């Protein structure tokens, strides 16, 4: 058979460390990109220690929950997995559709090199075995937004298998201790995204937008090694950070770049696993935790009341906060059937030992070469933060989990003479506290890293006191009454010789209000 | 002029004996005269005349694009043609105008060829008669030949002549009829199980199926992706080689095309001597006919075909070639195996025809599912729907291992049979192309499409399983005055070697030119280049 033909797509951003999300969802009310502490705080069921929550009423048996995840991450690439159409969020409907994407008869798939590299890179970062030969399959189902009637995916032999993801769960009295946990990764497969159906119920019409049809996805299958919503949420957050650090996916859940389905069952420890349900439609980390914990509790209640669990697909209704059976044919049909994709030869990858002499570097992908270009992963970044600045591990988690916070922190560190520990404390407590209070993302902060650095310098040189510095922060954060306190301080310092109006003018100018 | 070969007319164009526009007009007028053959679904008259005009300019400026510049060609209506309706002879695609050209079409146009039109076929190329398309059956030009008519007069049982016309074979019957009736010099067919070679044999043409991966499938509306290849129908082997030269080569739009550089142009040497050749004669025919297909009541290999086959082997032997019998033990399972693989891929490939993006859409709008169902019922004929149904059955989770996976294993065994034969020193294999000559339409439709396809693909199908190149060469006329073809099968990607042997053989047999005097009033133009009907392999 012929060698796989690869298109050259330009690389997306490689090193997207602590990327600032452009989505609006993070801003108001629902801090999805929050610290693990907060995820926990927001998931009502998980707030109680799980073993108590899962005890039967009679107290005879404990219940244990088993959670596995299927995660779809949209690959950050300029063009789609098998066609040359652009990939862009929120473009006008059907403006990014090639003949292949619309499944015009006679069109054929051509594999995008960038997507393969992204899959290899992700596989390596997740400690996977990279298969030097992988295959493509067709998965068939009739769906209006799946124009060909099948999705090209990797069923039989995926590109990466047998990996692991290490994430940290907070524990201890004040949730201040981080316990590392591992979830096994079954496989990572390359596949096509579908288009979008927009249902206009008023006119009983369905409108189809194919812009997303054919965008490359990484399906990451996590083994059922998790036991509650928080663990699942934390694992997903860690994966999100890794994908963003690699630049292989923007992994923004609000924009659908990261989508999670959860397989959930409960059983008594030591007994066989229970019947599982699949919960779909989990489009934020917060809802993910909520939905899983709800579903665990629902299954326990069902079983304790003598009911049985059906092997079914359920959807999480985020307004009602519960999961509901999808009485949809798709659930029952169990994705009808697979067939090898005959238009794509096996995808063959090479390493330093297998690379054929004189191979055209544009036509081959070298795993070892990709390994060498792997950027720093979040776990390493955290370790460095702990070593370099002497901060606690959980602080390093918070710095990475909050979008844009690490960059902010590093910029402050660069510009100030203040002790790293002081900077850490100011950034994580005072600064982040203000942001949370005001419901702002780091990118929306009125305080720049330079301003905070200058403030910390003044504090460091004992020019101002700690309380004065906090008041400056208050003013910077648009607290109108705060400036009066500062005026008072200046008047005190000048022994009431200065004109309050002038002081106010000068202060406002200095604080660039 | 019309009776000449592509190479000859190309020389005439270069020498200014005829202009591309004159040639185009002659062909167009013949297309009109032979309209009753039903060879064309769409005649692209305006496009062809415009292309001819441009070609003429190039010739005047001494900027000819090569051998194909100004040459009228036809294309089977399952190749996408930009701006020209492409129907697959199905209600499903009536009115569908593709926005792009298939790679092979584009390559022909880039070489200056004139696109006369889109030719008829079995719906979505599913058939072996060119009788099962929505535009009706194709009539074999040989039905109206002097050779056939004269034989029929001698036959006291001959019935009404007009209702006794013959099928072309299929599924590329429109392309075969178009070339056979001199309305163009070459035509594209497609070949999944014999769809180019079968009608070529029935219409007295050269029908060439290239190696899988040598010619791009991009824009060919698929039947079975892993077996489909664009096929070439011409009046002689050299012409097929010229067209192959224009089409062969890797295509970035088709990942299954090979990257190895292709020898261009495909000039075929004239073999002076075949003494270094080894010709393999497969001994698989009886096994197929008696062992595997009892339920189909397969007619025996006709004694005429049988006798021509052995005479051809004798010819090679007498000229010094080594002729050996080879065993292809698994080819007898080819047809059943094909049935599973073909219908499975069909079920998958046809899933896209849901009435949403293009093609036919029914009026029912109760629900999306109801719309799908009605659209597909109205859009596909029984044959297509039957294959979709079988394919879905074979691909069901509970059947997948027992049918699809097993069929794939059998396919590998069939392919290995050929590898073993070629490894044993065989250069080309020689087999019949079809069981017999073309049969009358009324006879043909006594059996259903599935039975016919199973019978008619017997000698051609295994080649597609293995991806090998194969060519049907017209050998002689039967007792009824109808063409009979033999098939040569070559090693993968040794297409040039295969055609070289075929060319030598073609020269030996001197197959007669079809005489269509009764068909056309001004036949003089057609037959000015008539060769003597000297058949060296006379019965």
Segment among A459-468, A469-478, B275-284, B500-509 with least mean pLDDT: A469-478
Computed over its alpha carbons, how large is the radius of gyration of chain B?
Answer: 22
Closest CA to A336 of A133, A140, A64: A140
Q: Give contacts of B218 with chain A, Cβ < 8 Å.
A: 106-108
Residue with tokens 């896209």: B352
Q: What is the pLDDT of residues B377-397, one digit of tens each?
A: 999 999 999 999 999 999 988
Given A5, A106, A344, which is nearest B102 (Cβ)?
A: A106
Instruction: State yes or no: is B270 an active-site residue.
Output: no
Three state DSSP letters for A279-323: EEEECCHHHHHHHHHHHHHHHHHHHHCCCCCCCCEEEEECCCCEE
Calculate the CA A511 to chain-centre distance.
36
Calculate how close chain B gets to A274, using CA atoms only, in Å: 24
Cα–Cα–Cα angle for B66, B69, B73, nearest 5°? 125
Helices (H), B158-276: 173-180, 197-202, 237-247
Chain A interface mutation, best of B80, B227, B255, highest count of A Cβ atoms under 10 Å: B255
Residue with tokens 């020498």: B15
Numbered residues of chain A with Cβ closer than 8 Å to any chain B Cβ: 1-5, 7, 99, 102-111, 138, 140, 142, 144, 147-150, 206, 208, 329, 334, 336-339, 342-345
Q: Give contacts of B352 with chain A, Cβ < 8 Å.
A: 103, 105, 147-149
Q: Give contacts of A336 with chain B, Cβ < 8 Å.
A: 392, 395-397
How many CA atoms does the CB half-sphere of B18 hold within 13 Å? 21
For residues B238-249, average pLDDT: 96
Q: What is the pLDDT of residues B404-442, one digit of tens each?
A: 999 999 999 999 999 999 999 999 999 999 999 999 999
Q: Any idea how long chain B is?
A: 539
Give, in order, the Cα–Cα distances in Å from B455 to each of A70, A285, B336, B443, B451.
48, 61, 11, 14, 6
Q: What is the pLDDT of residues B123-132, one digit of tens each?
A: 999 999 999 9
Give, in order, the Cα–Cα distances in Å from A153 to each of A88, A157, A214, A218, B156.
21, 10, 11, 10, 64
pLDDT value of residue B262: 62
Give, in order, the Cα–Cα distances in Å from B180 to each of A364, B3, B120, B474.
47, 10, 14, 12
| Whole-number Å distance between alpha carbons of B474 and B510 | 9
Segment among A34-48, A203-217, B252-266, B336-350 with least mean pLDDT: A34-48
pLDDT value of residue A30: 32
ipTM of the complex: 0.93
For residues A69-79, average pLDDT: 97
Coil, strand or helix at B351:
helix
Phi, psi of B100 (to 5 degrees): -145, 160
| Whole-number Å distance between alpha carbons of A425 and A416 | 14
pTM score: 0.87
Segment among A245-254, A445-454, B49-58 with least mean pLDDT: A445-454
| Whole-number Å distance between alpha carbons of A150 and A143 | 9
Q: Higher-confidence residue: A55 or B182?
A: B182
Evaluate whether A469 touches A422 at the Cβ level (below 8 Å).
no
Three state DSSP letters for B284-345: CHHHHHHHHCHHHCCCCCCHHHHHHHHHHHHHHHHCCCEEEEECCCCHHHHHHHHHHHHHHH
Q: Higher-confidence residue: B204 or A155?
A: B204
Given B219, B255, B354, which is nearest A111 (Cβ)?
A: B255
Interface contact flag, B352 A336, Cβ < 8 Å: no
pLDDT value of residue A56: 46
Q: What is the pLDDT of residues A313-372, one digit of tens each?
A: 999 988 888 999 986 544 445 456 789 999 999 999 999 899 988 888 878 999 999 999
Evaluate whether B200 touches B438 at the Cβ level (below 8 Å).
no
Evaluate whether A367 touches A351 at the Cβ level (below 8 Å).
yes
| Whole-number Å distance between alpha carbons of B379 and B353 | 9
Calculate how close chain B gets to A354, using CA atoms only, in Å: 20
A501 token code pair: 């109006």
Give strand pairing partners of B81: B84
Q: Give contacts of A150 with chain B, Cβ < 8 Å.
A: 348, 351
Interface contact flag, B226 A109, Cβ < 8 Å: no
Evaluate whether B9 touches B55 at the Cβ level (below 8 Å).
no
Which DSSP symbol is given to B139? Answer: B
Calculate how close chain A gets to B160, using CA atoms only, in Å: 42
Calculate how close chain A gets to B225, using CA atoms only, in Å: 6
Given B102, B345, B368, which is nearest A342 (Cβ)?
A: B345
| Identified catalytic residue from B195, B211, B332, B472 | B195
Chains A, B: CB contacts within 8 A come to 113
A297 token code pair: 């509790």
Chain B interface mutation, best of A79, A105, A140, A192, highest count of B Cβ atoms under 10 Å: A105
Instruction: State yes or no: is B195 an active-site residue.
Output: yes
Average pLDDT, whole number, for chain A? 83
pLDDT value of residue A335: 54
pLDDT value of residue A512: 64
pLDDT value of residue B289: 44
Q: What is the pLDDT of residues A400-450, one digit of tens each?
A: 988 899 999 999 999 999 899 999 999 998 899 888 888 888 988 888 999
pLDDT for residue A451 is more than 60: yes
Evaluate whether A77 touches A115 at the Cβ level (below 8 Å).
yes
Interface contact flag, A105 B258, Cβ < 8 Å: no
Coil, strand or helix at B35:
helix
For residues A299-306, average pLDDT: 95
Q: What is the pLDDT of residues B50-101, one digit of tens each?
A: 999 999 999 999 999 999 999 999 999 999 999 999 999 999 999 999 999 9
pLDDT value of residue A477: 66
pLDDT for residue A114 is more than 60: yes
Evaluate whether B379 touches B353 at the Cβ level (below 8 Å).
yes
Pairing of strands B72-76, B186-191: parallel
Segment among A154-158, B139-143, B516-520 with least mean pLDDT: B516-520
Calculate the CA A186 to chain-centre distance.
19
Q: What is the pLDDT of residues B442-480, one digit of tens each?
A: 999 998 888 888 788 889 999 999 999 999 999 999 999
Q: Which helix (H) or strand (E) holds A116?
A: helix A113-125
Instruction: State yes or no: is B76 an active-site residue.
Output: yes
Residues contacting residue A108 through CB under 8 Å, at least 6 positions apart = A100, A343, B217, B218, B253, B254, B255
């Amino acid at each position: 058979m012929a060698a796989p033909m690869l298109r050259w797509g330009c690389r997306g951003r490689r090193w997207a460390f602590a990327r600032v999300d452009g989505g609006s969802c993070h801003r108001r009310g629902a801090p999805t990109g929050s610290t693990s502490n907060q995820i926990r705080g927001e998931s009502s069921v998980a707030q109680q220690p799980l073993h108590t929550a899962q005890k039967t009423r009679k107290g005879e048996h404990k219940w244990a929950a088993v959670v596995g995840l299927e995660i779809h991450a949209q690959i950050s690439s300029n063009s789609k997995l098998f066609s040359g159409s652009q990939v862009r969020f929120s473009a006008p409907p059907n403006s990014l559709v090639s003949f292949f994407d619309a499944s015009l008869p006679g069109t054929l798939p051509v594999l995008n090199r960038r997507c393969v590299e992204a899959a290899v890179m992700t596989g390596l970062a997740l400690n996977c075995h990279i298969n030097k030969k992988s295959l493509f399959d067709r998965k068939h189902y009739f769906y209006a937004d799946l124009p060909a009637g099948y999705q090209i995916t990797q069923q039989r032999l995926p590109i990466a298998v047998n990996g692991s993801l290490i994430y940290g769960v907070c524990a201890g009295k004040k949730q201040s201790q981080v316990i590392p946990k591992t979830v096994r990764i079954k496989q990572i497969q390359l596949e096509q995204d579908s288009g979008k159906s927009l249902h206009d119920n008023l006119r009983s019409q369905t409108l189809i937008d194919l812009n997303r049809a054919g965008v490359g996805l990484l399906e990451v299958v996590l083994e059922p090694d998790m036991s509650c919503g928080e663990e699942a949420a934390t694992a997903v957050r860690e994966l999100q950070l890794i994908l963003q650090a690699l630049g292989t996916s923007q992994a923004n859940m609000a924009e659908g770049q990261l989508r999670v389905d959860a397989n959930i069952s409960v059983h008594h420890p030591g007994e066989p696993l229970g019947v599982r349900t699949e919960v779909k439609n989990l489009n934020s980390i917060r809802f993910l935790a909520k939905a899983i914990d709800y579903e665990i509790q629902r299954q326990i209640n069902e079983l304790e009341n003598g009911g049985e669990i059906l092997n079914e697909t359920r959807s999480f209704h985020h307004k009602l906060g519960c999961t509901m059976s999808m009485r949809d044919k798709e659930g029952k049909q169990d994705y009808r059937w697979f067939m090898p994709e005959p238009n794509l030869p096996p995808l063959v990858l090479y390493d330093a030992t297998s690379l054929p002499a004189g191979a055209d570097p544009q036509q081959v992908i070298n795993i070892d070469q990709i390994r060498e270009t792997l950027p720093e992963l979040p776990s390493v970044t955290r370790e460095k933060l702990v070593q370099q600045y002497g901060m606690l591990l959980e602080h390093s988690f918070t710095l990475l989990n909050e979008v844009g916070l690490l960059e902010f922190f590093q910029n402050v560190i660069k510009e100030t003479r203040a002790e790293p520990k002081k900077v850490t404390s100011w950034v994580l407590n005072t600064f982040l506290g203000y942001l949370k209070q005001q419901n702002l993302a780091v990118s929306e902060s009125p305080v720049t890293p330079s301003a905070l650095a200058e403030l910390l310098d003044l504090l460091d040189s004992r020019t101002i006191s700690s309380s004065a510095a906090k008041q400056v922060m208050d003013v910077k954060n648009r607290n109108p009454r705060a400036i009066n306190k500062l005026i008072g301080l200046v008047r005190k310092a000048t022994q009431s010789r200065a004109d309050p109006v002038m002081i106010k003018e000068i202060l406002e100018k200095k604080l660039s209000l | 002029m019309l009776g000449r070969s592509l190479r000859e007319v190309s020389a005439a164009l270069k020498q200014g004996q005829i202009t591309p526009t004159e040639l185009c007009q002659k062909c167009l007028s013949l297309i009109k005269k032979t309209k009753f053959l039903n060879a064309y679904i769409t005649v692209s008259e305006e496009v062809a005349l415009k292309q001819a005009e441009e070609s003429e300019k190039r010739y005047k400026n001494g900027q000819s694009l090569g051998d194909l510049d100004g040459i009228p060609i036809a294309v089977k209506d399952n190749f996408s043609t930009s701006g020209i309706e492409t129907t697959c002879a199905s209600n499903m695609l009536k009115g569908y105008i593709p926005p792009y050209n298939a790679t092979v079409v584009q390559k022909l146009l880039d070489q200056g060829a004139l696109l006369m039109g889109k030719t008829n076929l079995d719906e979505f190329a599913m058939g072996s008669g060119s009788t099962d398309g929505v535009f009706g059956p194709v009539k074999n030009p040989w039905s109206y030949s002097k050779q056939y008519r004269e034989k029929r007069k001698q036959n006291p049982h001959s019935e009404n002549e007009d209702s006794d016309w013959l099928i072309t074979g299929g599924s590329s019957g429109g392309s075969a009829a178009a070339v056979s009736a001199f309305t163009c010099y070459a035509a594209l067919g497609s070949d999944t199980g014999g769809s180019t070679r079968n009608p070529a044999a029935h219409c007295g043409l050269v029908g060439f199926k290239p190696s899988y991966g040598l010619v791009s499938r991009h824009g060919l509306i698929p039947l079975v992706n892993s077996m489909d290849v664009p096929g070439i129908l011409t009046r002689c082997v050299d012409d097929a080689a010229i067209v192959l030269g224009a089409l062969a080569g890797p295509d970035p739009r088709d990942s299954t095309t090979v990257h190895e550089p292709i020898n261009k142009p495909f000039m075929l040497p004239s073999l002076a001597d075949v003494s270094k050749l080894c010709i393999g004669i497969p001994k698989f025919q009886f096994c197929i006919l008696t062992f595997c297909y009892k339920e189909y009541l397969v007619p025996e290999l006709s004694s005429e075909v049988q006798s021509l086959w052995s005479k051809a082997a004798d010819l090679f032997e007498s000229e010094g070639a080594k002729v050996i019998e080879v065993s292809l033990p698994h080819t007898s399972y080819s047809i059943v195996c094909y049935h599973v693989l073909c219908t499975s891929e069909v079920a998958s490939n046809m899933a896209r025809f849901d009435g949403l993006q293009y093609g036919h859409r029914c009026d029912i709008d109760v629900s999306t599912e109801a719309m799908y169902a009605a659209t597909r019922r109205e859009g596909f004929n029984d044959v297509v729907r039957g294959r979709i149904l079988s394919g879905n059955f074979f691909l069901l989770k509970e059947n997948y291992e027992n049918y699809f996976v097993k069929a794939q294993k059998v396919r590998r065994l069939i392919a290995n049979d050929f590898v073993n034969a070629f490894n044993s020193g065989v250069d080309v294999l020689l087999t019949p192309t079809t069981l017999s000559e073309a049969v009358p339409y009324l006879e043909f439709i006594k059996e259903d499409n599935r039975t016919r396809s199973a019978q008619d693909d017997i000698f051609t199908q295994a080649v597609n399983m293995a991806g090998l190149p194969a060519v049907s060469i017209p050998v002689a006329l039967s007792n009824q005055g109808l063409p009979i073809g033999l098939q040569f099968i070559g090693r993968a990607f040794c297409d040039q070697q295969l055609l070289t042997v075929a060319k030598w053989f073609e020269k030996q047999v001197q197959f007669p030119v079809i005489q269509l005097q009764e068909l056309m009033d001004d036949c003089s133009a057609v037959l000015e280049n008539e060769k003597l009907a000297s058949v060296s392999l006379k019965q």
